[in-house]
Amino acid sequence: MSVTEYVFSLGSDWGNRAEAVKSALDWLSSFLEGFECSDIYETPPVGHKGSNYINAVAKGNSAIEPREMERMCKQYELEHGRDTDARKEKRVPIDIDIVVANGKVLRKKDYACDFFKIGYSQLPHERHHFMRPNLHIHSHVPIKGIMTFIKNWTLPLAIIMGIAAYFLYVNIPWLDSTHAAANRIVGIVQPLLIFGMLFLTFLSIGPKDLRLTKWHLWNVLIQIGLFGGFAYVLTLMENEGWRIILESCMLCLLCPTATAAAVVTRKLGGSAADITAYTMLINLAIAVTAPALLPIAHPHEGMTFLPTFLMIIGKVFPLLICPLLLAWGIRAFIPKLQKFLIQFKDLPFYMWAVALSIAIAVTVKAIVHSSVPAIYLIGIMIVTIVCCVLQFFLGKLIGGKYGQTIEGGQSLGQKNTVFIIWLGYTFLSPVTAVAGGFYSIWHNIFNSYQLYRHRKK
């Protein structure tokens, strides 16, 4: 069976351009042998006016014949938005062209353009190295193997590290005097990590990329509908034990999408822009409906709409809006800095892994020191697992109807668990705050599984 050496040109001028090109590179790497790719970079349009393109060049070997490879590329473009309407409107969500095959230039105009030459110049051109990747000798194979393992299993390792770090820290007697200082440091470092990872992620998202879709509206209706349903049921529930379980379940269902969802969605090949738009929408929806429904579910004297609304807005929006505005400011006024920073496309994910490890340590601390009776802990643990599975399932089901399974699943399934804990302590039975800790573990285990499946594709 003959093997063909391919060189591809990739580009996008619409939507989340960098994400579209990255996802296409991930797709090519899943079946090409000896895969190599350039950096992702920006170039002006050629032969027409319009938005700048995000480009990349990739190469690899395959036994797939050129005609079939071309068909696969065009089918990928169609499935990712380059349909008849996009072509009429001259939008390019993603373009994948075979420029060179076995050393023969198939697209001479593309070959001579800067949008191809910039990326092509970054690729290794030693033919023996490219055609025989298995003959390349790595002198540091053990180190490379360890680094690959860490990269592939970042989230499970972060969870394990968080649990281990907590128990190690509290069982070293001479560190007892540092506990108060450690709590203050965590309170500073964790928001900074979240701010930083969101800022780096939002650098690739322009204002025009944020748009509402039909699945956004369906998911909001599901969350608000379930919230209202549980609030009504709680008005009929007098048994304290069952109230605690139902309140825990309600918290998991009403909680808005985690700010970190954009980072995970991008890593899974989804649209960070669309998940960011939903995160803003659902945070606003919860800020409006929670002050109206929480007093019904768990009456408090003096709990009125406006103070509750302002408390919720103040809790969730600064950490979401501030990095977005800063990123947009950098895009508008310091574009060279933006181009430099977006090269570190994996950094937000690793920043989130560190933040996750800290969050898991805090979660373990909360569970270990909880005075909640064991029967309630078991009940809360069970309902949080059920809520996690249900919401990922419903989100993927609805998102899948509109070609955005990943975004739909993350929007409903990945939660701002710190918000759950805060809501529980502030507005409901304090016992229910434990639900946020349990949910944090379950949705991150599921995210780890999704990332594992994504690598295997």
**What domains can be seen in the chain, in order of their start residue?**
4-135 (3.30.70.560), 148-456 (1.20.1530.20)
For residue range 390-404, what is the model confidence (pLDDT) as tens digits?
999 999 999 989 888
Record the tokens describing residue 107, joined without a space. 């697209």
Mean pLDDT, the chain, integer:
84
pLDDT score recorded for residue 138: 36
Quickly state the pLDDT bin for 164 (edges 50, 70, 90): very high
For residue range 16-59, what is the model confidence (pLDDT) as tens digits?
888 899 989 989 988 888 888 888 888 888 877 777 889 999 99
pLDDT > 90? residue 220: yes
Quickly state the pLDDT bin for 12 (edges 50, 70, 90): very high
The residue among 266 and 71 whose pLDDT is bigger is 71
pLDDT score recorded for residue 418: 82
pLDDT > 60? residue 137: no
The residue among 45 and 1 whose pLDDT is bigger is 45
pLDDT score recorded for residue 282: 92
